[in-house]
Amino acid sequence: MTLGPVMVDLCGTELSAEEREVLRHPLVGGVILFSRNYESPAQLTSLTQAIHALRQPPLLIGVDHEGGRVQRFREGFTRIPPMRRLGEIWDRHPQQARKLSHQVGYVLAAELRACGVDFSFTPVLDLEYGASQVIGDRAFHRTPQAIAELAHHLMLGLKEAGMAAVGKHFPGHGFVAADSHLAIPVDERDLADIRLFDLEPFRQMIHYGLPAMMPAHVIYPQVDDKPAGFSKVWLKNMLRGELGFDGVIFSDDLSMEGAKAGGDVVTRGQAALDAGCDMVLVCNDPGSAKNLLDGLHWKISALSLTRLMRMHGKPHSPSLVQLHEDPHFVAAVHAIGGIGQGSGNLPLNSAHDPVAER
Give the pLDDT confidence of 255-270 residue by residue, as tens digits. 876 556 667 899 999 9
Domain presence at residue 1: no
Question: Total domain count for the chain?
Answer: 1
Is residue 151 assigned to a domain?
yes
Record the pTM: 0.93
Closest CA to 159 of 235, 231, 212: 212
29: in domain? no
**Do residues 70 and 79 touch, judged by C-beta distance below 8 A?**
no
In a domain, 334, yes or no: yes
Which element (helix H / strand E) includes 279? Answer: strand 279-281
On whether the CB atoms of residues 107 and 333 are closer than 8 A, the answer is yes
User: At 150, which CATH number?
Assistant: 3.20.20.300
pLDDT tens-place string over residues 217-226: 999 999 999 9
Catalytic member of 153, 181, 217, 312: 181
H-run or E-run covering 207 = helix 199-207
* Poorest-pLDDT segment among 73-82, 224-233, 348-357: 348-357
User: Does residue 323 form part of some domain?
Assistant: yes
Q: Which long-range contacts (CB under 8 A, 24 or more apart) does 297-303 make?
A: 297/270, 298/5, 298/27, 298/269, 298/270, 298/273, 300/2, 300/3, 300/4, 300/5, 300/29
At 219, is the secondary structure helix, strand, or coil? strand
pLDDT above 50: residue 345: no
Task: Report the pLDDT value the prediction gives residue 354, as an integer from 0 to 100.
Answer: 37
Instruction: Report the percentage of the chain scoring pLDDT > 70.
Output: 92
How many Cα neighbours within 13 Å face the side chain of 35? 17
- Give the tens place of pLDDT for each residue, 168-203: 999 999 999 876 666 788 999 999 999 999 999 999
The rounded mean pLDDT for the chain is 91
Residue 65 lies in a domain: no
Which residue of the set 252, 253, 278, 353 is catalytic?
252
Q: Is the pLDDT of residue 235 over 90?
A: yes
- How far, in Å, CA of 154 to CA of 231, rounded? 29
pLDDT greater than 80 at residue 33: yes
Contact 311, 104 (CB under 8 A): no
Over range 87-97, report the average pLDDT.
Answer: 96
**C-alpha torsion sign, points 126, 131, 135, 136:** positive
Compute how many other C-beta atoms are within 10 angstroms of the C-beta atom of residue 346.
10
Establish whether 181 is a catalytic residue: yes
Based on the residue annotation, tell me whether 252 is a catalytic residue of this protein: yes
Residue 37 falls inside a structural domain: no
∠ CA 190-193-199, rounded to 5°: 110
Q: Is residue 308 domain-resident? A: yes
Confidence band, pLDDT 50/70/90 cuts, at residue 351? very low
Give the structural domain span for 128: 6-23+42-59+79-341
pLDDT of residue 184: 84
Question: What mean pLDDT comes out for the span 149-166?
Answer: 98
Interval 292-305: pLDDT, tens: 999 999 999 999 99
Task: Indicate whether 350 pLDDT > 50.
Answer: no
Q: Name the DSSP class of 256.
A: S
Which of these ranges, 63-67, 273-277, 341-345, has the smallest mean pLDDT? Answer: 341-345
* Percent helix, percent strand, percent coil in the chain, to nearest 5: 45, 10, 45
Question: Residue 125: pLDDT band by 50, 70, 90 thresholds?
Answer: very high
